[in-house]
Structure 1
Amino acid sequence: MDIHEYQAKKILAGFGVTIPRGGIVYSPENAENKAREIGGSKWVVKAQVHSGARGKAGGIIVCNTALEVAQATDKLLGKTLVTNQTGPEGKIVNRVYIEEATEIKKELYLGLVFDRSSECIMVVASTEGGMSVEEISQEKPESIIRSKIEAAVGMQKFQAREIAFGLGIKPELISRTAEAIIGCYRAFSELDATMVEVNPLVISEQDQILALDCKMSFDNNALFRRNQISELRDKTQENTNEIYASDRGLNYVSLEGNIGNIINGAGLAMASMDMIKLAGGEPANFLDVGGGATPEKIVKAFKLILMDKKVKVILINIFAGINRCDWVAEGIIQALQKIDINMPLIIRLAGTNVEKGNKILKESKINYIEATTLEDAANKAVKALKELKK
């Protein structure tokens, strides 16, 4: 789950990281008042959407008067902001963050993610702040500092100081920089985050260490114990189908193709999408119904697939291990009795009681195309799609 910049900054401030003064607004009138409340002579108006590269898309505006702040807010609210991370559909700006402008002496990059290969938390830092980490790795790879943190031990003060020294921080600012790095680490580890990115972490002309921008993502599976985080979710920034799925216990990711998938198991789902691509087709989604493909879950999965108007063919690929193919077959039949499917349906069952499951499907008289292997299922789905286009 992603959150907005202003929410991430508030979290970091709670862990001792210094942030510029600012506030969230929902109207131009509030924006003008908020600018006067913050004080100063220059402000930055920031569109709050779940995306980076907002500045390049016109989502960040520097203002010199409170009236300009109101005008910039009016310009951004309700706007669909299209960045290289949102895709062509963009994201709607429903709230704006007003922040005092900072006189920047130096921009740095700081990010924390999981490194699954070493089973550690990886701290990535660079002297080239303000650029995306992808750009830094391509243009200035020598500037990147990496430090592995053992999760069982946590970040030690000497590690934070080593990172600060590696960034070329002058000695009198090492301690404050290390405190900011440790604060980001604590937010990451104590709140079940999957990513904390401060870009840029700046040294101001007054020698303050400030988090000027921040992105945070959290583990959805841990939200049940992080109510204060789950309450920060903004569903207007998410795909409607993905919201429907997550609220019903389905693992779903919307894609750009037209072959819908209902599959049990993440590995099988990935393999199925690869096979569809090899066969010349494009998957419309990643949908994992889990090990217990019950009739209720199958019904929810069909409804979810049919919400995507791009879908022209549906592929069901079930490997029954702890489950049984005959139960799955009965679930599919019950689902099709409740939902009208007016498109080609390819079903491939494998595993426990596969013969019995296929027999149940055949005797039910439902209209479907049987497949025997993963490759066969993908080929038949692509073939059915081509026949629709004739």
Structure 2
Amino acid sequence: MTIVTEETTVDVVRKATRDLARSFDLEYWRQKDKKAEYPREFVKAFADGGWLGLIIPEEYGGLGLGMTEAAVMLYEISASGAANSGASAIHFSIFPPAPIINFGSEEMKKQWLPKIASGEILMCFGVTEPTAGVDTSRIRTMAKKVDGGWVVNGQKVWISNAQNADKILLLARTSPRDDANPLDGMTIFFTDLNRDHVTIREIEKCGRSALDSNELFIDDLPVRDDEVVGEVGKGFQYLIDGLNPERIVVAMEQIGIGRAAMDIAVQYAKDRVVFDRPIGKNQAVAHPLADSWIRLEAAERMAMHAATLFDTQQRCGKEAAAAKFLGAEAGFEACNRAMSTLGGYAYSKEYHVERLWRECRLQLNAPFSQEMVLNFVSHNVLKMPRSY
């Protein structure tokens, strides 16, 4: 008897985005990395397929799908060998628009969400600052109230996609920091990335070269009142609302990179003959790869569990944090073991492993370091004294 199962939305998303992502081969990404060139063709292909609007509600031109589908899509992009250069380019249509979707005015949603979904405009996310680090309460970018709007001055760092972005979702202080309530008094603005008032300097870096990272110097940037997202002073609360989705998709991206590296390493271990035998016959080669397979599987299950909790409107903070921790660790370790498997050839760009290794290392530090995950879990889950 043949059992017929109905294809789920997740299955459809997985197959379609896998096929689309893999239509851009490893050589495409090697050249983008080498030239530090934005993957316009790749982004356009996903825009043309409607995938940039995956989580944007249908009434605003999107697909209206959930975090589970988003996680699967970004996994497939990374696993294709696009790694963070491809995943991050699409990621900017999944995570940053969330405050607009959840807290923006109806006019803002109608005007901008369809353009984000279609790829007509590109955006960046301006939160981190050089003097604040992970303590967002200490950002110094200030928005001063004037007639009809605001004037913003300050500095941002590690702002991805600013070289190509039309708009910026910008976090700024609208009142001084209060030690009693340090996370109050910040506001999110969605405004033009006006080059007359914002100097953008690209940061040279070791990985994810196809997607730019930048310093922003903001000098008297004018912002209208209708460009405030939600209520003045509640920006950090709106930001927190999107952190769990970010951790989930980052976890899946790193798992995908780890799997891409594993595919290369396993095939190499089968084909490479030393001392008249495939090196894959040696347990010193096979066992680390087997261990990484297990860890990647476990990390994926935690990430998908967190995505399911989020989509069913259940609390998922500890699961999302754990998924990010496991995904970053398992993904990088898989890349590291792939480097060891290929030996000297791992340093050849022809095999692509060194690029995956470079790109995967970032997520051990950002956007939520492994140490901060452990701080969060020890304090909020285990109820131990706060250590940070």
Q: TM-score range by the shorter chain?
A: under 0.3
Q: Which has the higher contact order (CA 8 A, sep 6+)?
A: 2
Structure number having the greater helix percentage = 2
- Which is higher, the Rg of structure 1 or of structure 2? 1
**TM-score, normalised by the number of residues in structure 1:** 0.20
